[in-house]
Chains A and B, each alone.
Chain A
Amino acid sequence: MSIQVTVFAAYFVVVFAIGWLSLRRTRTEEDYWIAGGRLGWFIGGATVAATHTSAGTFVGTIGVMYTAGWSFGWVLLSIPLAYWFVAAVLAPRFTRVRQLTLPAFMEDRYYSKGVRGLAAGIVLIATVVYIQAQIVAGGLIANIVFGVPTEWGMLGFTGILLAYTVIGGMIAVVYTDAFQLVVMLLGVLFALPLAVRQTDGLDNLLYLVESAHPMVFSWGTLPGTLLFTMGLAFFLGSIATPERLIRLYAMKDMKTIRRGMLFALVAITGINLIVFVLALAAIVLFPALPTGDLAMPMVATAVLPPTLGAVMLAAITAAMMSTVDSLLIVAGSALSVDIYQNLIHPDVTPRRRMVVDRMGIVVVGSVPVILLLSGVGEGELVQFIVLLFSALMASSFVVPVVGGVLWRRATKEGAAAAMLGGVSTTLTWEAYGPEHIDPVLPGFLVSAVLWTVVSLLTPPPPRGAVDPYFSDAVAQEMDP
């Protein structure tokens, strides 16, 4: 137990130190929200990978492996394809005008403060749900490592997260993310050979899984439509979530983005593949757990030697923290930059802005914990909550963001209709729709149809608003 506490204490000290050092490099709002737009490929890619890899990757995967089997693993392929799409199609156009937040892009491209406010509102609400899912995982880990009640664990993790994120902003977040990615990589790379040895080799592990649970290696566990729409949900969700888009603004240039995305997709794919194999080991080693969510912490405490077990638990914690800190930045900026400073109080002095920025993060960090402690929104299978977040983000932002930089004719009314239609369809489908089709598919389709039809029925956008995103097209039109 004491080794675990030591490893965690060392981990937290490094995270705090990074937060503190970042304070000195944070002078402007641009530093605070997009790390000054100066990141290189290593830190840029690492922060994308660490943000992508959530507690759900470690804690939720085993639950899904139990119920859905290895065929679920194939959904993973959609993720590198999504990052490729971002590097090749979206980023070159999206980054032509560098903004501080995604809603600010929406205002710039769609020439409307209302569209920006709507986008900020959706980001805020969806993010709170997602942060909740991650904090539940943090509470479980604290319970296992320190033996404290889950509620205390949730409070403690949130306190630590808020401390370095509020102080150091995006610079603190990207550097702690890079450190947390290293912890995650160390955790899984050490855990894999040890867990496989515990089951007498990979061949034997596969044999044991197959004889005890023949369905794990069968295509029949997930209907083809569900597998496809889950893949689509991951693909769409990996493109247009605000915490990913904002990292495109944080990186230096397009060459950096292409390399950063390569680093990110290799790290994400590698970590996921190793976690899948660890999940198989957990199925063999712990056949009778009350919930699949407990399997990965059990591997860390029962399979690995104490020090490595502690590193593995720190890795799961790092996955949670590196995702939540990024969401705090996104939700905090939506609240303080996009809603307060843009709509409510536009004449804030620059000095006060930095205070308002930090207050925004404090507010969006406290609300999920208060909701959780009052018993609202606790979920069992973290991965599926994560999946709904992706579906909500995808159905509201993929069409207006990706479409917005590809089609000049898209209007502010079209964008607003796309966001509202996407979100309401996703939520309605989740509540009442058939389960074998992921809500992202109807949400995305409704969003796309409304965006197109409403844009065509409303007056075209003013040239000045869209020209910056289509300068190549302008140049070609002007070419005789």
Chain B
Amino acid sequence: MKGPGFLFWGLFLACGLVVTAYVVWMWWEERR
């Protein structure tokens, strides 16, 4: 059985990355 692969799971990964990046930016911005 072949799964849908990156097209499907990649979206969840990408959303997680964007949110993590935002948190890092916010933390950096408030430390300034």
Binding site for B on A (CB under 8 A): 70-71, 73-74, 76-77, 80-81, 84, 87-88, 203, 206-207, 209-210, 217-219, 255, 258-259, 261-262, 265-266, 269, 273, 276
- CB pair A266 B14 closer than 8 Å: no
- CB pair A217 B22 closer than 8 Å: no
Binding site for A on B (CB under 8 A): 1-5, 7-8, 11-12, 14-15, 18-19, 22-23, 25-26, 29-30
- CB pair B11 A266 closer than 8 Å: no
- CB pair B4 A73 closer than 8 Å: no
Query: Hey, which chain B residues are within 8 Å of A276, CB to CB?
Result: 11
Query: Complex: how many Å from CA A265 to CA B22?
Result: 10
Query: Complex: how many Å from CA A74 to CA B3?
Result: 18
Query: Hey, which chain A residues are within 8 Å of B12, CB to CB?
Result: 273
Query: Hey, which chain B residues are within 8 Å of A76, CB to CB?
Result: 11, 15
Choose one: A71, A73, A209, A262; the contact of B23 (CB below 8 Å): A262
Q: At the interface, is chain B mostly helix, strand, loop or mixed?
A: helix
- CB pair A77 B26 closer than 8 Å: no
Query: Complex: how many Å from CA A30 to CA B17?
Result: 38
- CB pair A71 B7 closer than 8 Å: yes
Query: Complex: how many Å from CA A273 to CA B26?
Result: 23
Choose one: A71, A259, A269; the contact of B19 (CB below 8 Å): A269
Q: State how many angstroms separate the Cβ of A327 from the closest Cβ of chain B.
A: 27
- CB pair B25 A273 closer than 8 Å: no
Query: Hey, which chain B residues are within 8 Å of A258, CB to CB?
Result: 26, 29-30
Query: Hey, which chain A residues are within 8 Å of B2, CB to CB?
Result: 210
- CB pair A217 B26 closer than 8 Å: no
Q: A74-B14, A203-B3 are in contact. List 16 more A-B contacts (CB 8 A).
A: A70-B4, A73-B11, A84-B25, A207-B1, A207-B3, A217-B5, A217-B7, A218-B7, A258-B29, A259-B26, A262-B19, A262-B23, A266-B19, A269-B15, A269-B18, A269-B19
Q: Smallest CB-CB separation from B11: which chain A residue?
A: A73
15 contacting pairs across A/B (C-beta < 8 A): A70-B7, A70-B8, A71-B7, A77-B14, A77-B15, A80-B19, A84-B25, A88-B25, A206-B8, A207-B3, A210-B2, A255-B30, A258-B29, A261-B22, A262-B26
Query: Hey, which chain B residues are within 8 Å of A73, CB to CB?
Result: 11
Q: Smallest CB-CB separation from B5: which chain A residue?
A: A217
Query: Complex: how many Å from CA A262 to CA B26?
Result: 9
Query: Hey, which chain B residues are within 8 Å of A206, CB to CB?
Result: 3-4, 8
* 7 nearest CB pairs, A to B: A217-B4, A80-B18, A269-B15, A73-B11, A258-B26, A84-B22, A217-B7
Query: Complex: how many Å from CA A207 to CA B3?
Result: 7
